């Protein structure tokens, strides 16, 4: 993981499980998210039970955690995948039942490949601070 100090940003993580003790897996994941390096958990939603969407298996237990983290988006994604693996996550086929599923919801504002095209189609959604935050990233506009 990166060692450079970065200003913390907000990240939203969807948490879900539908194998084993799904509720316990979600609760353990919430605790683990708050223990990631350079990260703290700011808020957690209620737990929700949902039927699998475009998938099979038992109902899911879901939640969303709001984090403050200084990890880069790739480092946070790697940390989420490590937590999934530690919980026994397997990916035998798309949308397979899972012991733990962690999805990064909102780090788009750190990614030039999202911010630049978004500014083209919806400039009101890209404020100056967001634009400046990605301005040093290498990106090329094609005709």
By the 8 A CB rule, do 67 and 75 touch?
Answer: no
Distance CA 14, CA 95 (A): 15
By the 8 A CB rule, do 1 and 78 touch?
Answer: yes
Q: Catalytic amino acids?
A: 89, 98, 101, 103
Does the CA dihedral 90-91-92-94 come out positive or negative? positive
């Amino acid at each position: 993981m990166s060692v450079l100090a970065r200003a913390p940003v907000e990240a939203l993580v969807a948490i879900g499980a539908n194998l084993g003790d799904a509720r316990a897996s979600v609760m353990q994941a919430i605790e683990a998210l708050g223990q990631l390096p350079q990260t703290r958990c700011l808020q957690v939603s209620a737990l929700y039970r949902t039927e699998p969407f475009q998938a099979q298996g038992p109902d899911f237990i879901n939640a969303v955690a709001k984090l403050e983290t200084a990890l880069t988006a790739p480092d946070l994604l790697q940390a989420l995948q490590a937590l999934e693996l530690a919980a026994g996550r397997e990916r035998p086929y798309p949308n397979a039942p899972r012991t733990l599923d962690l999805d990064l919801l909102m780090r788009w504002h750190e990614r030039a490949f999202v911010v630049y095209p978004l500014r083209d189609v919806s400039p009101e959604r890209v404020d100056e601070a967001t634009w400046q935050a990605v301005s040093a990233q290498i990106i090329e506009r094609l005709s």
